[in-house]
Amino acid sequence: MQILRTAAALRAALAGETRTAFVPTMGNLHAGHVSLVDLARRHGQPVVASIFVNPLQFGAGEDFDRYPRTLDADCEKLAAAGCDLVFAPDAAEIYPVPQTFTVQPPEALANDLCGAFRPGHFSGVATVVLKLFNLVQPRVAVFGKKDFQQLLVIRELVRQFNLPIDIVAGDTLREADGLAMSSRNAYLGASERIQAAQLQRELATVALAVQAGERDFEALAAAAARRLKMAGWRVDYVAVRDAATLQAPAADSARLVVLGAAWLGSTRLIDNLDFAHPFE
């Protein structure tokens, strides 16, 4: 597996490739990322992963500085997963000049849910992903459903900018107690780690109620948020949405998704469950 640090080396290594499958990451990889590489291998070759903690998508006071940088361990995992090339640039390589020209995702998508609590986050994500797409020029790119809103932002980026890239979504991998795998789980203390699985359980409770015929999505979401708060979480949101648009569910929504974001101490966790619309 090649490990390249510069855009020039990356372009040279990928010159002439037309079937590249790409997995962008911020590193500190876990089994969920490895499953995305497995998925990428089924969709193209060579398989390229990037490791870049993108400063543009972190707000002031967020965890950019403490985000774990574990390049050697990450490369071992990627090599074992059959990745062909790792692109691990530093910030000066991606942002050689101040990035004053940024991608602004549609407001309805970018300023809602996580975007409402992390202003500018999805602009930072879309901007770096567009840059990475331009450098790697993949035919297929794989993103995890764990970051459901991000997945929709990227799909819209590709659609509205006519990028010739298929976006493939990888399922969320979970720990034995249901907690979604995330690089940020490493921040959790021992008792927080036990409590963390409650987020997924509350989302599942909402999803089951909807599937059983409940229609008052807001009441269900509010009840889940209340239970989380009573257990000590600081809740950003719990919401039921159309899985294709992230707007309020409509009668013709084919799939729904229940999403949540909440804090345990200084750790912000997100999760979601998507399911077929139960009352068509």
- Per annotation, catalytic residue among 30, 33, 43, 277: 33
* Least gap, CB of 123 to ligand PAF (angstroms): 12
Q: Which is nearer to ligand PAF, 34 or 128 (CB)?
A: 128
Q: The sheet that has 47-51: what strands, in order across it?
A: 2-4, 85-87, 47-51, 21-25, 140-144, 166-170
- Residues 36-75, one symbol each (x = binds ligand PAF by CB under 6 A, - = not), give ------------------x--x------------------
Vertex 71: Cα angle to 172 and 64 (nearest 5): 70
Burial of 142 per CB tally in 10 Å (0-12, 13-18, 19+) = buried
Report the alpha-carbon distance of residue 214 to residue 278 in Å, rounded: 10
Q: Is 43 considered catalytic here?
A: no
| Residue of 7, 21, 24, 48 interacting with ligand PAF (CB under 6 A) | 24
3 state DSSP class of 273: strand
28 binds ligand PAF (CB under 6 A): no
Q: Which is nearer to ligand PAF, 5 or 229 (CB)?
A: 5
Report the alpha-carbon distance of residue 16 to residue 35 in Å, rounded: 27
* Least gap, CB of 40 to ligand PAF (angstroms): 13
* Least gap, CB of 26 to ligand PAF (angstroms): 4
129 binds ligand PAF (CB under 6 A): yes
The residues pairing with 51 across neighbouring beta strands, listed in sequence order, are: 25
Q: Which stretch in 20-28, 34-42, 85-93, 167-175 sits in contact with ligand PAF by CB under 6 A? A: 20-28
- Residues 131-150, one symbol each (x = binds ligand PAF by CB under 6 A, - = not), give ----------------x--x
Decide if 275 contacts 202 (C-beta within 8 A): no
* Least gap, CB of 190 to ligand PAF (angstroms): 26
Q: Which stretch in 88-96, 102-110, 121-129, 199-207 sits in contact with ligand PAF by CB under 6 A? A: 121-129
Burial of 18 per CB tally in 10 Å (0-12, 13-18, 19+) = exposed
Report the alpha-carbon distance of residue 88 to residue 7 in Å, rounded: 10
Q: Which stretch in 13-21, 85-93, 125-133, 234-242 sits in contact with ligand PAF by CB under 6 A? A: 125-133
Find the binding residues for ligand PAF in span 150-209 (CB under 6 A): 150
Decide if 51 contacts 26 (C-beta within 8 A): yes
Q: At what angle do helices 121-136 and 7-14 cross, to 10 degrees?
A: 50
* Least gap, CB of 150 to ligand PAF (angstroms): 6
Report the DSSP pairing between strands 267-276 and 255-264: antiparallel
* Least gap, CB of 213 to ligand PAF (angstroms): 35
Catalytic residues: 33
The footprint of ligand PAF (CB under 6 A) covers 24-26, 54, 57, 125, 128-129, 147, 150
